[in-house]
């Protein structure tokens, strides 16, 4: 299994950025950078360049990059089987191997992008770049990748068996984008809105990451590893249960 996943990982690495690799490399960095610069301009225009105890540039990086990693893990898993249908004809290669390889690749890519952005902003703007609690930040990053993997496995079957599911899934991811406190601090919301948003496990991981990255970051009651990890484990159980019975039909044309 390890050899298969390793081979798939390097195969995906070669094809991940398309035929024009330079454009692919630019897009991986350019997409989150475009979002960050756009909202920096917006915050500058409304004269809100600072959040208490947190440089706004760092705040946006800790929102956009992890969320894009989560989103891409989900979408890459959903598209993984169709893109590798010829390989699945070989007995040693299973869809789950493709799911794991694509998840590991997206984790590596966006972890590198995260470090690059933090180092870049820290150097140009003379900002501190080291997290206050490195282990908790790293676990939150891994937890978000795990959640993306679990959701991706579930949605891969939904996308394979339900016509037009991709359209509604894309809408759902866009809703998550705005409901996960990616571009705004959670504590500015009214309490009754916060209580609703806390049911979002993606938001929980992002808030855990920020609470442990920045010194003095305001903490919200109800944020913990327990809920989002439990949510991810339940999702993964559902996805693997369905995978056990239906993986042979995954990727077939509806």
Q: Domain limits of the chain?
A: 2-249
Q: What per-residue confidence (pLDDT) applies to 252?
A: 53
* Interval 84-93: pLDDT, tens: 777 777 778 8
* The pLDDT of residue 10 is above 50: yes
Mean pLDDT for all residues in the chain: 85
Indicate the burial class of 174 (C-beta count within 10 angstroms; 0-12, 13-18, 19 or more): exposed
* Interval 113-124: pLDDT, tens: 999 989 988 888
Q: What per-residue confidence (pLDDT) applies to 183?
A: 86
Q: What per-residue confidence (pLDDT) applies to 254?
A: 46
Q: What per-residue confidence (pLDDT) applies to 52?
A: 65
The residues, any chain, with a CB within 8 Å of residue 213's CB and separated by 6 or more, are: 58, 62, 131, 132, 133, 137
Q: Rounded to 5, what percent of the chain is helix, strand, coil?
A: 75, 0, 25
| Rounded Cα distance, 99 and 151, in Å | 11
């Amino acid at each position: 299994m390890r050899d298969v996943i390793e081979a798939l990982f390097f195969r995906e690495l070669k094809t991940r950025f398309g035929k024009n690799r330079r454009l692919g490399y630019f897009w991986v960095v350019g997409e989150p950078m475009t979002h960050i610069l756009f909202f920096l301009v917006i915050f500058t225009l409304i004269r809100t360049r600072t959040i208490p105890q947190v440089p706004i540039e760092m705040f946006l990086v800790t929102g956009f990059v992890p969320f894009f990693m989560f989103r891409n893990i989900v979408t890459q898993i959903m598209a993984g089987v169709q893109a590798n249908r010829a390989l699945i004809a070989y007995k040693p290669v299973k869809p789950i191997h493709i799911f794991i390889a694509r998840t590991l690749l997206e984790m590596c890519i966006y972890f590198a992008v995260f470090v690059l952005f933090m180092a870049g902003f820290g150097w140009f703007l003379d900002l501190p770049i080291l997290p206050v609690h490195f282990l908790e930040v790293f676990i939150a990053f891994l937890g978000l990748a795990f959640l993306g993997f679990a959701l991706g496995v579930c949605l891969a079957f939904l996308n394979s068996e339900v016509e037009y599911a991709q359209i509604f899934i894309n809408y759902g991811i866009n809703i998550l984008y705005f409901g996960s406190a990616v571009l705004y601090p959670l504590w500015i919301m009214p309490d009754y809105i916060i209580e609703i948003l806390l049911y979002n496990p993606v938001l929980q991981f992002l808030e855990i990451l920020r609470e442990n990255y920045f010194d003095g970051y305001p903490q919200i009651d109800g944020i913990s590893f327990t809920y989002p990890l439990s949510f991810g484990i339940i999702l993964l159980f559902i996805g693997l249960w369905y995978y056990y019975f239906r993986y042979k039909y995954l990727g077939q044309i509806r």
